[in-house]
């Protein structure tokens, strides 16, 4: 390298790498070579990266990179939702084998315009429908601190890649907690932006009825904020759109927020039991917020009797059926069910038993959850909760060979009862690393009103400055 050792480079976040490249202390090719070397060294044990696009990355550098805020920074896409021209996005399934994208997704194009160098894709749960990353097509991703554990899902590959130091940030998606849960389990920062903040086109106007959002898992708050600055904003045909704040997200992350009204909720919306560790970490986060000058009190939203798990189950079933059928038919796949894990076949079978009325009512429940949360955020700026109800996730806890949807959904809900309501409502929510318990990181969830992403970035930046978490991911 020009002036830097690999150890020094590993300690930099994405903006730090971009700054070294701008100063001439590092070249984009050297940054890419270092990232490739780390993936080569770490991935055999972790199985975080399942597709390599090294040649595409080298070609992008040779052709000249845009002068964006992340010029020359190596980057990984999650193997779900986004398209990279000339490559296959498999969504963790053999269903997509050989289906090559002919153009970039809008967000992929924005990543490239920001100067990012995409050199691979990270492991994801099949179709994104699990809270673990253990697809039959590619095998399980392992936790960087304990190979007997999962880093969560469905963005577990991205979380493991960032937490292990392969890259400082990686693309991730969140339809029910898939950014926040892996971020909490691995001790890194995970922001799910507001609905409509990032584009999902050009081939769709929304994903999972508007509940799934694309962004990233990052080591630092400022990387997440700067990346959202570079990629947010409407696109032609978008179903949702949000006005930009007066200040950039990066600038907001650098400023301590005015004293906030913060609520603390340690019990879920349903009757799921919560491990004491997860409850204690949320309380610790509340104490930290109070010490930083915010007003904190216990309070909880009322969802007016709506069961979030019931809503999720019906919408996920419908999505699975239509998604699979819409892939199979135009590509001549006669028996798509044979290419799927049994649990996702069971989702499809469940969907066939639902009526149009069931679907409309489930969508109505989704929006009712959003209205209930919106009323709550008229009184409070932020809500703190646990991220998960269990602090560790053993491999095999979510079994793709399961054929009983009720049993599978019960496990999903028992593990992650706190995250999905904010997908239903479209609100921004983030997992912030708080501490280690028994040697493993545990985070807390912070949520706010629709469009108040900047409030969360400001609070996250304040917490990061008061209690840096960057050692939580290392042995």
What does DSSP say about strands 382-386 and 440-447: parallel, antiparallel, or unpaired?
Answer: antiparallel
The active-site residue, picked from 78, 112, 121, 192, is 78
3-state secondary structure of 364: helix
Listed in sequence order, the residues at least 6 apart from 277 whose beta carbon sits closer than 8 Å to its beta carbon are: 391, 437, 442
Instruction: Check residue 72 and give left, alpha or beta (phi > 0: left; psi -120 to 50: alpha).
Output: left
Structure tokens given for 147: 């190979």
Place of tokens 């646990």: 386
Give residues with Cβ within 8 angstroms of 428, minimum separation 6.
Answer: 191, 192, 193, 194, 197, 422, 447, 448, 450, 451, 452, 453, 456
Alpha-carbon torsion angle 90, 91, 92, 98, nearest 10: -10
User: Of 91, 93, 150, 154, which one is the catalytic site residue?
Assistant: 154
- SS3 state of residue 168: coil
Q: Can 78 be counted among the known catalytic residues?
A: yes
DSSP H stretches of helix in 168-275: 180-186, 221-231, 249-253
| Residue 23 annotated to the active site | no
Q: Which of 131, 158, 178, 224 is catalytic?
A: 178
Closest of 456, 414, 212 to residue 316, by C-alpha = 212
Positions marked catalytic: 78, 154, 178
């Amino acid at each position: 390298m020009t002036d830097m050792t690999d150890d020094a480079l590993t300690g930099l976040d994405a903006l730090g790498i971009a700054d070294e490249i701008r100063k001439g202390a590092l070249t984009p090719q050297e940054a890419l070579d270092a990232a490739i070397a780390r993936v080569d060294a770490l991935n055999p044990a972790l199985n975080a990266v399942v597709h390599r696009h090294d040649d595409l990355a080298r070609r992008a550098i040779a052709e000249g990179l845009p002068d964006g805020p992340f010029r020359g920074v190596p980057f990984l896409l999650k193997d779900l939702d986004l398209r990279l021209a000339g490559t296959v996005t498999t969504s963790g399934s053999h269903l997509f084998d050989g289906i090559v994208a002919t153009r970039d997704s809008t967000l992929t194009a924005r990543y490239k315009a920001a100067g990012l160098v995409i050199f691979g894709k990270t492991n994801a749960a099949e179709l994104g429908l699990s809270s673990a990353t253990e697809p039959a097509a590619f095998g399980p991703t392992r936790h960087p601190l304990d190979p007997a554990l999962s880093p969560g899902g469905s963005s577990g590959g991205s979380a493991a890649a960032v937490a292990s130091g392969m890259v400082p940030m990686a693309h991730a998606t969140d339809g029910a907690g898939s950014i926040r849960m892996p971020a909490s389990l691995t001790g890194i920062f995970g922001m799910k932006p507001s609905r409509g903040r990032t584009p999902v086109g050009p081939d769709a106007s929304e994903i999972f009825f508007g509940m799934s959002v694309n962004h990233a898992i990052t080591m630092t708050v400022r990387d997440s904020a700067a990346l959202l600055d570079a990629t947010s904003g409407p696109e032609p045909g978008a179903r949702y759109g949000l006005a930009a704040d007066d200040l950039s997200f990066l600038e907001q992350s650098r400023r301590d927020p005015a004293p906030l009204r913060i609520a603390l909720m340690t019990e879920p919306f349903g009757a799921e039991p919560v491990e004491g560790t997860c409850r204690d970490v949320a309380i610790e986060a509340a104490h930290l917020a109070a010490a930083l000058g915010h007003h904190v009190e216990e309070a909880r939203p009322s969802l007016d009797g709506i069961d979030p798990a019931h809503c999720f189950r019906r919408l996920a079933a419908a999505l699975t059926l239509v998604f699979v059928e819409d892939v199979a038919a135009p590509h001549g796949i006669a028996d798509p069910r044979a290419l799927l894990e049994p649990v996702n076949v069971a989702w499809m079978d469940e969907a066939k038993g639902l009526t149009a009325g069931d679907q409309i009512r489930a969508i109505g429940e989704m929006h009712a959850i959003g209205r209930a949360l919106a009323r709550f955020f008229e009184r409070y700026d932020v809500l703190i909760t646990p991220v998960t109800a269990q602090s560790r996730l053993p491999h095999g806890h979510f079994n793709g060979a399961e054929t009983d949807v009720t049993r599978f959904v019960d496990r999903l809900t028992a593990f992650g009862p706190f995250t999905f309501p904010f997908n239903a409502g479209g609100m921004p929510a983030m997992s912030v690393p708080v501490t280690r318990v028994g040697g493993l990181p545990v985070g807390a969830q912070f949520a706010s009103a629709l469009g108040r992403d900047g409030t969360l970035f400001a609070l996250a930046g304040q917490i990061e400055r008061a209690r840096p978490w960057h050692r939580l991911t290392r042995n």
